[in-house]
Amino acid sequence: MRELIVILMLFVFIGAGDLLITYKSSSSVFSYKERQKSDHEVYSEQDYERPERDPKLADTLSDFTNKIDCEEYFANKKGMYYPQSNEYLVSHNVFVNGDRSKVTVDITSRYYKKDGVYSGEMRCYVQNSEYGSVSYPCAYDSESGSGLKYTYNDNFSLLLDDYNNDGNPDYLIRTGDAKDGGAFYYIEYSVNEPYPVHHTNFSTPKKNSDSAVFVYGKRDDSIRLDHTDMDHFFFLTKDGNNVVPYMYDSKFQQCEYYDFAVGDRLYSAFYEDGILTLRVTDCESRREIYEGEVSVTVRKLDEQVWSRCGEFSAKFDPDKDYCRFVHTAEYEQDFEKGLYQLEINTPDGIAYAEFAVRK
């Protein structure tokens, strides 16, 4: 009898250990109910949901569209003076916040050359029609007590997104000359307050001014960062000679990227002008990626339930506009306004990405 009890105790202990290991290896922020059932039991599409997080898309009246067409606005007007100061206008942007207040963001340069290059200290002027206005150096170094001097090679528009998921447009501005495979940026987010714009206060190992982050693989004057979902975004940066991912949540708190990765790869998506762009970023700095197509299931969030609304195949190719560790795939399709989830069936396992349609 004692031997039987010992055998049963060993069985329970070993079984519990196996269960713990299995749960740990499959548990992640991307887990969903189907993983809690046996291989022979699958939830219906109506029951599909992700209980580990509360998916949401902030209520907003903003369409996240820059109302100014850069090429049209600056056509035959290079070297335009900015009326509020003795400076040259580099970028003119107008958009609406979540409460429909109008925001104008102007970027100026101290000097302008006839070849179209703007140089010297850059300044940013932000005005919210309902709350207030502010101006500041685009890149400020508190150690030297002055703004940094660098160049913009042409006029440009700000690319809008929502990194803190509050329904107000956010954007990145390059704050130094491109170098070491990337460039420095301020991450700025508009708010409905008398001081109408803030910028994040975290930094990367490489920095050139207060609050600037170094984004590896990017050099454009304004860029968008990648979302795994509406509450998390990430970018590649450099720590010494190593290229590493940095991930943050919508409260701008740093997260561990491997909690979101599948096969050491992060998946993201963005939708604009009828084009859905999927991106896979290798966190281990490998250039290779799986060959062939992958199947992608599309679901739309409807009253906190992900309802299946489509499926397509995608093939990832090297992203020529980014870096050698990133591949992209594009899919042309019209989507209604709302929050969508992609279930990507990769050779490494099921991966997820979310994207929002704002208008």
Q: What is the mean pLDDT of the chain?
A: 85
**In a shared domain, residues 265 and 346:** yes
Across residues 151-163, what is the average pLDDT?
Answer: 96
The 8-class DSSP code of residue 144 comes to T
**In a shared domain, residues 212 and 153:** yes
**In a shared domain, residues 160 and 234:** no
Considering the domain boundaries, does residue 1 fall inside one? no
Long-range contacts of 248-252 (CB under 8 A, 24+ apart): 248/163, 248/202, 250/163, 250/164, 250/165, 250/166, 251/164, 252/163, 252/164, 252/200, 252/201, 252/202
pTM of the model: 0.84
Considering the domain boundaries, does residue 279 fall inside one? yes
**In a shared domain, residues 70 and 148:** yes
pLDDT band at 54 (very low <50, low <70, confident <90, very high): low
Considering the domain boundaries, does residue 13 fall inside one? no
Instruction: Find the range with the poorest average confidence among 52-66, 177-191, 227-241, 301-315.
Output: 52-66
Considering the domain boundaries, does residue 206 fall inside one? yes
- The more confidently predicted of residues 269 and 40 is 269
Element (H, E) at 9: helix 2-26
Considering the domain boundaries, does residue 25 fall inside one? no
Residue whose C-alpha is closest to residue 91's, from 103, 78, 107: 107
**In a shared domain, residues 269 and 333:** yes
What percent of the chain is predicted at pLDDT more than 90? 69
**In a shared domain, residues 72 and 37:** no
Is pLDDT above 90 for 315?
Answer: yes
Per-residue pLDDT, 83? 84
**In a shared domain, residues 110 and 36:** no
**In a shared domain, residues 240 and 188:** no
Residue with tokens 């749960």: 23
Is pLDDT above 50 for 18?
Answer: no
**In a shared domain, residues 182 and 299:** no
Q: How many structural domains compose the chain?
A: 2
CATH number of the structural domain spanning residue 39: 2.60.40
**In a shared domain, residues 85 and 184:** yes
Give the pair of three-digit tokens for residue 295: 């199947």
Considering the domain boundaries, does residue 150 fall inside one? yes
DSSP lists the bridge partners of residue 295 as 313, 345
**In a shared domain, residues 237 and 215:** no
Domain limits at 88? 61-224
Considering the domain boundaries, does residue 303 fall inside one? yes
Could you read off the pLDDT of 258-273 as tens digits, one per residue?
Answer: 999 999 999 999 999 9
Contact predicate 216/183, CB 8 Å: no
